[in-house]
Amino acid sequence: MSDIQIYTVYIEAPAARVWDAITTSEFTNQYGYGGDTEVDLTPGGVYRNLTSPGMKAMGMGDVAVSGEVLAVEPRSRLQITWAPAWYPDAAPTTVTWELTEFEGPLTKVVLTHDVSANPELGREIAGGGEPTQGGGGWPWILAGLKTVLETGRPMVNSGS
């Protein structure tokens, strides 16, 4: 499995709305594994994806993923380090979100996750396992993002 994983999805929504869905708790609680997001959208700023009540019930602490903002181009590109709490001794990896808006509005979302600093993480983020047990990876998270933005409701078993 490659140390650089790239996922692409097209979402029928303006790039500004997709950006908000990636960077604000109003949306991050409605897709993927849920939980509030705290992000200081300046280089060097803090990124934290907080745990949902379900994650806490499974024994996780308050923070699921922490990191640092590396680069920001509002509504088009966000690059962060990504350090999952379940790998406390591993080096952080890098996640890059790239948004391109087309007429419609339609937004192309490209998520690149460089796991070369923690190759074990590669299988997990690729998905294919039981989503409700953390096995859906980025494909499941992106499907939930698309669903909530296009329908206004969370995907089945997605979010907090």
Q: What is the pLDDT of residue 78?
A: 98
What is this structure's pTM?
Answer: 0.94
Q: Extract the tokens encoding 41.
A: 């959208």
pLDDT of residue 160: 64
pLDDT of residue 2: 84
Evaluate whether the domain defined by 4-151 bears CATH number 3.30.530.20.
yes
Q: CA 93, CA 13: separation in Å to the nearest integer?
A: 28
Question: How confident is the model over 6-63, as pLDDT tens digits?
Answer: 999 999 999 999 999 999 999 999 998 888 999 999 999 999 999 988 888 888 899 9
- The CA–CA distances, whole Å, from 62 to 32, 54, 127, 132 equal 17, 11, 23, 19
Domain segments of the chain: what residues?
4-151
> Using CA of residue 122, residue 77, residue 152, residue 61, what is the dihedral sign?
positive
Predicted pLDDT at 133: 73
Residues in the chain: 160
* CA-CA-CA-CA torsion sign (132, 56, 137, 21): positive
pLDDT digit string, tens, across residues 61-102: 999 999 999 999 999 999 999 999 999 999 999 999 999 999
Tell me what the mean pLDDT of segment 101-107 comes to. 97
pLDDT of residue 14: 98
- pLDDT tens readout for residues 22-33: 999 999 999 988
Q: What is the pLDDT of residues 113-142, one digit of tens each?
A: 999 999 999 988 998 887 777 778 999 999
